[in-house]
C-alpha cells in the first residue's frame, strides 16, 4: 500500500536520519488516514504496518527460538596492552598479511538479532544464552528506528540477519525514572537495565511508550554485499538501518588507540550510554580464517572504558524510606563534576556497604558514576588515618525508621533493612494503597500514585479501605450538583474513579488476598492459598502447621500470613473490606470448576485459539490443578496447541516426545 510505504519513509527520516521533511501534524494526519483505511479493510492487515508501532495490551508469552548462527560474546579488556596483544595475535594468525580493524562504539544495551525476508521484518530474538533466545518481535515492532519494511527497489538480499543493540536513550531513561520516582516505584539503575526490563515487558504498549532505540552493527547472510564488514554496514545504512556514524577503519595500532582516546571523552556527549569500543577485523574472509574459541571470536575484542571517578568530601548521610519500607542511606557531599553533571548525592546502598566503607563525617571519598543514575561511593580517596582523626564521628546505620521511629527489621536473605510499621508509617501506607489498586490486584485503574498522594495529603484516605468511603464523601460534598466543590476534584475524573472503585468489588477472592498486602505473598502464593482454603476467614485462622502442608508455601510465607492476621489493625482492615462488599471467598462457579484432573502437570500454551482466550485456558489449567509454564522442557507434560503454533516450539516438543493436545482434546479431558 502506497500510504504505508510513505509513512515508513517518514519514520526513517525522522528517527534514523533526524531530518524530517513533513511536520508532526502532517505525519499524524497521514497516520490517522491509514488507521481509518485499515479499520475499513481488515482483510489487508499487515503486522509490519506503521500503525502497529503503538504495541498491544495483550499479554505476550515469549517463545524460545534457536539462533540460526550462535550469538557469541566478545572477550573484554580494560587494558591497552591487551589491545596491543590482540593486534599481534591477529597479525600472527593472518601470517603477516595486511588487515584493517573496524573500530566501533560499544553500546550499553541489550543484544538483538533481526531477521528480514523480502525486505520485511519477520522475527526479532534476544541473545539469550547465545544458542537460543526469546522471540520479542511484537515488542521490537514498536521501536521506531527499526525498519519494519525496507524501501522497495533496494539491493538488499532476499533473506538476511542483522544484529545490534536495543538501547534506552538518556532522555527516555531520565523521563522514565522521573515518572517512577513520582509513583514511588524503584528507579532503574541505568539505561541498560531499563532497556532490558522494557524489552521483556509482556505488554508491547508499555514498550512503545518508553522510547527505546536501536543501533545495528553486524550483517549476516548468504547474499550480503561484500567481504568488508564496514562496507556492509554502510550498505545497511542505505537500506534504512540506524548504524553508528562513529565507525572508522584503522590501519595501525596507533589509529586504534586514537579512536579509544577520542571516544573515552567524547562519549559523554552522546544521546545513549556507551561503555567502551569494539574492535573487529574488517575482512569477513579473514574473520573466517581466524575462527572462534569456544566462547568468543578470535577476530574481535571489546575494550571497556574505566568508570569515571571524582574525589570530594562527605558531609552528611540521610536515610530514605521507600514505599516497600526499605531504608536506603544516601550520602550528601560537596558538589563535584562527574560524567558531565554536578554530583551532590550518592547512594550507599545498605548497612553492609556502609560498614565495609567505614565512613566518617569529613572523609575524602571517591565517587563513581559508571552508568548509575545515582552515583555511588566506592572508597576513601586517601589513606590519611581519617578514622583516627574522626573517632567520634563514625557514621552508623540507623536502628529506627527516620520517618515514624519504629525499630527496623532485616528479613533473612535480604540486604536491606525495613520499617515494619505498615499501618502507621506514611511511605508504607502509600505503598500499600498503590499495591492495592494495582492492575494485578484490585485494578482500580483510574487512580494513579499522584492522586493517591493528593487524597492522603488531604486527609481523605489513610488506608486502602477508605477508598470505598469516597462515594459517600462525594455525594455529601456535591449535594447541589456542584461537582467542582468536591474534594475529589469533581466532573468526569471523579465519576471515573468512583466507578472503577465500585467495579473492583467484583474482583475475585484470590486477587483480594493478594491486594491486602501480606509480605512475601505474591500472585502465585495468593492463588494457592485462596484455592486451598477457599475463604479469607479460613486463611486468617490457618496455623503454621496447616500452611506449611501446602505445596509451594514455605516457612517464610507461612510465618508472614500468621503474623499478618495476628495484628488487630490488619484484621480490622480486612473486616472493613468485607463490609464494603469485596469478594472474601471463592465464587460458586470457581468451586464447581475446580478439580485435580491436571494435578501436578506442567502445561505450555501455544498458538491462537477458537473457543477460549489464552488467559481463560490458563485459568482452566490452574482450576484443574495444573501449572502454566512458559517454555518447553523435559518436565512439560503436554502442550495445549491452537492454530499457528510456533515452529520452534513444535520442533522442540517433537524432539522431546511431548504430547501436543488440541483445544477439543483438552476440553474433553477436563469435561467442559
**Residues 51, 53, 55, 61: is their CA dihedral positive or negative?**
positive
Phi, then psi, of 302 in degrees rounded to 5 = -110, 125
Reported as a pLDDT band with limits 50, 70 and 90, residue 482 is very low
182-207: pLDDT as tens digits = 766 677 777 888 888 888 887 788 88
Reported as a pLDDT band with limits 50, 70 and 90, residue 366 is very high
pLDDT at position 326 over 80: yes
- For the chain, what is the mean pLDDT? 84
Q: Provide the pLDDT for residue 486.
A: 55
User: Which are the contacts of 482, defined by CB distance < 8 A and separation ≥ 6?
Assistant: 490
Integer distance in angstroms from the first to the last C-alpha of the chain?
A: 44
378-408: pLDDT as tens digits = 888 865 544 445 555 889 999 999 999 999 9
Burial 169-196 (b: 16+ CB within 10 A, else e): beebbeebbeeeeeebbebbbbbbbbbb
- Per-domain residue ranges of the chain: 1-54, 60-304, 309-389, 426-506, 509-591, 595-669
pLDDT at position 128 over 50: yes
Stretch 126-142: mean pLDDT: 88
Q: Provide the pLDDT for residue 625.
A: 79
Stretch 565-578: mean pLDDT: 95
How many Å apart are CA 297 and CA 262, to the nearest integer? 26
How many Å apart are CA 300 and CA 73, to the nearest integer? 10
- Same CATH fold, 595-669 and 309-389? no
Q: Provide the pLDDT for residue 503.
A: 94
Short-list 662, 661, 663, 646, CA closest to 62:
646
CATH node for 60-304: 3.30.470.30
Short-list 332, 339, 322, CA closest to 273:
339
Q: Provide the pLDDT for residue 63.
A: 82
SS3 411: coil
Beta bridge partners of 160: 116
Q: Provide the pLDDT for residue 32.
A: 61
Stretch 399-423: mean pLDDT: 91
Beta bridge partners of 336: 343
Alpha carbons within 13 angstroms on the beta-carbon side of residue 343 total 29
Q: Give the DSSP H or E segment for 281.
A: strand 274-281
Reported as a pLDDT band with limits 50, 70 and 90, residue 24 is very low
Alpha carbons within 13 angstroms on the beta-carbon side of residue 94 total 20
Stretch 145-166: mean pLDDT: 91
% of the chain surpassing 70 pLDDT:
85
Lowest pLDDT segment from 491-495, 509-513, 603-607? 491-495
Highest-pLDDT range among 67-76, 144-153, 248-257, 585-594: 248-257
Q: Provide the pLDDT for residue 373.
A: 58
Reported as a pLDDT band with limits 50, 70 and 90, residue 477 is low
Lowest pLDDT segment from 239-248, 249-258, 365-374, 569-578? 365-374
pLDDT at position 74 over 90: no
Q: Are 256 and 279 in contact (CB under 8 A)?
A: yes
Reported as a pLDDT band with limits 50, 70 and 90, residue 351 is very high
- CA angle, residues 538, 544, 545, in degrees to nearest 5: 95
Reported as a pLDDT band with limits 50, 70 and 90, residue 53 is low
pLDDT at position 650 over 90: no
Q: Provide the pLDDT for residue 243.
A: 96
Q: Provide the pLDDT for residue 374.
A: 66
Reported as a pLDDT band with limits 50, 70 and 90, residue 593 is low
Torsion of CA 237, 243, 246, 250, to 10 degrees: -70
Short-list 169, 172, 141, CA closest to 58:
141
Lowest pLDDT segment from 37-41, 209-213, 378-382, 405-409? 37-41
- What own/partner pairs with CB < 8 Å and gap ≥ 24 does 228-232 have? 228/282, 228/283, 228/284, 229/102, 229/280, 229/281, 229/282, 229/283, 229/284, 229/287, 230/100, 230/102, 230/282, 232/284
pLDDT at position 663 over 50: yes
In the CATH scheme, what is the homologous superfamily, with its name and number, of domain 1-54? Answer: Helix hairpin bin (1.10.287.610)
Stretch 408-414: mean pLDDT: 86
Q: Provide the pLDDT for residue 97.
A: 95
Its CATH class, for the domain covering 509-591, is mainly alpha
Say if domain 309-389 classifies as CATH 2.40.50.140. Answer: yes
Reported as a pLDDT band with limits 50, 70 and 90, residue 480 is very low
253-264: pLDDT as tens digits = 999 999 999 998
How many Å apart are CA 274 and CA 190, to the nearest integer? 11
For the record, the C-alpha cell of 440 comes out as 494485578
| Ordered DSSP codes for 35-103 | HHHHHH-GGG--TTSGGGGG--SS-PPPPEEE-SS--PPPPEES-HHHHHHHHHHHHHHTTT----EEE
Look at strands 110-117 and 159-167 and give their pairing: antiparallel
Q: Provide the pLDDT for residue 481.
A: 42
Q: Which residue numbers are catalytic?
A: 106
How many Å apart are CA 351 and CA 353, to the nearest integer? 6
The residue ranges of DSSP E strands in 282-409, in sequence order, are 300-304, 309-321, 326-338, 341-347, 364-368, 376-380
Short-list 561, 567, 548, CA closest to 519:
561
Q: Provide the pLDDT for residue 412.
A: 80
Which is more confidently placed, 170 or 478?
170
Reported as a pLDDT band with limits 50, 70 and 90, residue 122 is very high
Reported as a pLDDT band with limits 50, 70 and 90, residue 54 is very low
How many Å apart are CA 571 and CA 569, to the nearest integer? 5
Q: Provide the pLDDT for residue 592.
A: 56
Return the residue matching grid coordinates 543484544: 111
**DSSP 8-state assignment for residue 336:** E
CATH node for 426-506: 1.10.150.20
pLDDT at position 217 over 90: yes
Q: Provide the pLDDT for residue 602.
A: 87
Predicted TM-score (pTM) of the model is 0.55
Q: What is the 3-state secondary structure (H, E, C) of 166-222?
A: EECCHHHHHHHHHHHHHCCCCCCCCHHHHHHHHHCCCCHHHHHHCCCEEEEEEEECC
pLDDT at position 165 over 90: yes
For the record, the C-alpha cell of 61 comes out as 508469552
How many other CB atoms are there within 10 angstroms of residue 104's CB atom? 27
The whole-angstrom distance between residue 78's C-alpha and the CA centroid of its chain comes to 29
Q: Are 521 and 561 in contact (CB under 8 A)?
A: yes
**DSSP 8-state assignment for residue 347:** E
pLDDT at position 648 over 80: no
**What topology is assigned to 595-669 in CATH?**
Rossmann fold (3.40.50)
How many Å apart are CA 91 and CA 214, to the nearest integer? 33
pLDDT at position 439 over 90: no
268-315: pLDDT as tens digits = 888 998 889 999 999 999 999 999 876 689 999 999 888 778 899 999
pLDDT at position 468 over 50: yes
Amino acid at each position: 500500500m502506497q500510504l504505508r510505504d510513505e509513512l515508513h519513509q517518514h519514520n526513517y527520516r525522522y528517527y534514523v536520519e533526524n531530518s524530517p521533511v513533513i511536520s508532526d501534524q502532517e505525519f499524524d494526519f497521514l497516520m490517522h488516514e491509514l488507521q481509518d483505511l485499515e479499520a475499513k479493510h481488515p482483510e489487508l492487515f499487515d503486522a509490519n504496518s506503521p500503525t502497529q508501532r503503538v504495541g498491544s495490551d495483550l499479554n505476550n508469552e515469549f517463545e524460545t527460538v534457536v539462533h540460526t548462527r550462535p550469538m557469541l560474546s566478545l572477550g573484554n579488556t580494560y587494558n591497552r596492552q591487551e589491545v596491543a596483544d590482540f593486534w599481534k595475535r591477529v597479525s600472527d594468525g593472518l601470517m603477516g598479511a595486511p588487515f584493517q580493524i573496524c573500530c566501533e562504539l560499544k553500546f550499553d544495551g541489550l543484544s538483538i538479532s533481526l531477521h528480514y525476508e523480502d525486505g520485511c521484518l519477520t522475527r526479532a530474538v534476544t541473545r539469550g544464552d547465545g544458542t537460543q533466545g526469546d522471540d520479542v518481535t511484537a515488542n521490537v515492532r514498536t521501536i521506531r528506528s527499526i525498519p519494519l519494511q525496507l524501501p522497495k527497489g533496494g539491493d538488499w538480499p532476499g533473506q538476511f540477519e542483522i544484529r545490534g543493540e536495543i538501547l534506552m536513550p538518556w532522555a527516555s531513561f531520565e523521563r522514565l525514572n522521573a515518572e517512577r520516582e513520582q509513583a514511588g516505584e524503584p528507579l532503574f539503575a541505568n539505561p541498560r537495565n531499563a532497556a532490558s526490563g522494557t524489552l521483556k515487558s509482556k505488554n508491547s504498549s508499555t514498550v512503545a511508550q518508553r522510547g527505546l532505540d536501536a543501533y545495528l552493527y553486524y550483517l549476516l547472510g548468504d547474499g550480503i554485499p561484500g567481504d568488508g564488514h564496514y562496507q556492509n554496514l554502510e550498505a545497511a545504512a542505505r537500506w534504512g538501518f540506524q548504524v553508528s556514524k562513529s565507525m572508522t577503519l584503522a590501519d595501525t595500532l596507533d589509529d586504534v588507540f586514537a579512536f579509544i582516546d577520542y571516544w573515552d571523552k567524547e562519549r559523554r556527549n552522546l544521546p545513549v550510554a556507551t561503555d567502551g569500543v569494539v574492535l573487529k577485523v574488517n575482512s569477513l574472509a579473514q574473520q573466517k580464517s581466524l575462527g572462534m574459541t569456544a566462547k568468543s571470536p578470535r577476530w574481535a575484542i571489546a575494550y571497556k572504558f574505566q568508570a569515571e571517578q571524582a574525589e570530594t568530601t562527605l558531609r552528611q548521610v540521610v536515610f530514605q524510606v521507600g514505599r516497600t519500607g526499605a531504608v536506603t542511606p544516601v550520602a550528601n557531599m560537596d558538589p563535584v563534576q562527574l560524567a558531565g553533571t554536578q554530583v551532590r548525592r550518592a547512594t550507599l546502598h545498605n548497612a553492609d556497604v556502609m560498614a565495609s566503607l567505614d565512613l566518617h563525617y569529613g572523609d575524602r571519598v571517591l565517587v563513581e558514576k559508571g552508568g548509575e543514575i545515582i552515583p555511588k561511593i566506592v572508597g576513601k580517596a586517601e589513606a590519611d588515618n581519617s578514622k583516627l582523626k574522626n573517632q567520634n564521628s563514625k557514621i552508623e546505620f540507623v536502628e529506627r525508621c527516620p520517618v515514624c521511629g519504629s525499630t527496623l527489621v532485616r528479613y533473612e536473605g535480604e540486604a536491606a533493612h525495613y520499617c515494619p510499621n505498615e499501618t502507621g508509617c506514611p511511605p508504607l501506607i502509600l505503598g500499600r494503597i498503590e499495591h492495592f489498586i494495582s492492575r494485578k490486584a484490585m485494578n482500580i485503574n483510574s487512580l494513579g500514585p499522584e492522586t493517591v498522594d493528593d487524597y492522603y495529603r488531604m486527609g481523605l484516605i489513610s488506608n486502602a479501605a477508605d477508598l470505598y468511603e469516597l462515594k459517600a464523601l462525594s455525594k455529601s460534598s456535591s449535594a447541589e450538583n456542584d461537582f467542582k466543590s468536591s474534594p475529589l476534584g469533581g466532573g468526569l475524573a471523579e465519576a471515573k474513579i468512583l466507578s472503577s472503585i465500585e467495579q473492583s468489588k467484583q474482583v475475585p477472592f484470590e486477587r483480594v488476598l493478594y491486594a491486602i498486602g501480606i509480605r512475601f505473598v505474591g500472585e502465585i502464593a495468593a492463588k494457592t492459598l485462596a484455592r486451598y482454603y477457599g475463604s479469607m476467614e479460613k486463611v486468617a485462622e490457618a496455623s503454621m502447621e496447616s500452611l506449611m502442608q501446602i505445596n509451594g508455601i514455605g516457612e517464610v510465607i507461612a510465618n508472614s500470613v500468621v503474623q499478618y492476621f495476628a495484628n488487630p489493625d490488619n484484621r480490622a482492615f480486612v473486616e472493613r473490606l468485607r463490609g464494603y462488599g469485596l469478594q472474601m471467598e471463592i465464587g460458586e462457579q470457581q468451586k464447581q470448576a475446580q478439580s485435580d484432573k491436571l494435578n501436578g502437570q506442567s502445561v505450555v500454551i501455544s498458538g491462537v485459539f477458537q473457543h477460549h482466550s489464552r488467559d481463560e485456558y490458563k485459568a482452566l489449567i490452574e482450576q484443574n490443578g495444573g501449572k502454566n509454564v512458559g517454555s518447553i522442557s523435559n518436565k512439560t507434560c503436554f502442550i495445549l496447541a491452537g492454530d499457528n503454533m510456533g515452529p520452534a516450539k513444535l520442533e522442540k516438543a517433537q524432539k522431546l516426545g511431548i504430547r501436543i493436545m488440541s483445544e477439543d482434546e483438552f476440553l474433553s479431558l477436563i469435561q467442559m
